[in-house]
């Protein structure tokens, strides 16, 4: 019996090492279109101050842009895959947007970052019911 148990444990191998948690300070550069139908991109530099997950599935963070505006956001991590969601700071009369960011966390870098931009412009032909655009982002731990 002990031999069977030992063989089963050997076949299963050791558990995969836990991924580095996202919590901490991050410098991130986001590249998205300037507006819903624009062919011109804008680069946004932000600092993420990511709180630990704790016992929750979703963590909280603050995002500060290069103009010093700070907003709240949420994040989630499954293994090395992370997702971040937040509302871009927006002035009255501007076209506003929500960013959904997805990347792979590798050591102190965010790799292959993709951004879905959901603009506050209604679009009944889009399954999200709002105009959407795609973008990208990169990030590294620290400032």
Q: CA-CA distance, 87 to 41, in Å (whole number)?
A: 18
Model pLDDT for residues 6-56, shown as the tens digit of each residue: 444 334 443 444 578 899 999 999 999 999 989 999 999 999 999 988 777
Model pLDDT for residues 59-75, shown as the tens digit of each residue: 999 999 999 999 999 99
Model pLDDT for residues 9-21, shown as the tens digit of each residue: 334 443 444 578 8
pTM higher than the cut 0.85: no
CB-side exposure of 134: number of CA atoms within 13 Å? 3
CATH topology of domain 19-141: Lipocalin (2.40.128)
């Amino acid at each position: 019996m002990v031999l069977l148990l030992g063989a089963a444990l050997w076949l299963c191998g050791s558990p995969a090492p836990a991924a580095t948690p996202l919590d901490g300070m991050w410098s991130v550069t986001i590249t998205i279109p300037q507006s819903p139908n624009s062919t011109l991109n804008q680069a946004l530099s932000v600092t993420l101050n990511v709180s630990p997950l704790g016992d929750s599935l979703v963590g909280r963070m603050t995002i500060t842009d290069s103009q010093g505006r700070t907003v709240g956001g949420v994040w989630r991590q499954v293994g090395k895959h992370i997702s971040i969601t937040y509302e871009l700071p927006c002035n009255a009369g501007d076209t506003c947007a929500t960013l959904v960011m997805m990347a792979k966390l590798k050591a102190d870098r965010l790799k292959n970052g993709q951004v879905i931009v959901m603009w506050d412009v209604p679009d009944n032909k889009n399954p999200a019911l709002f105009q959407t655009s795609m973008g990208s982002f990169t990030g590294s731990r620290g400032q």
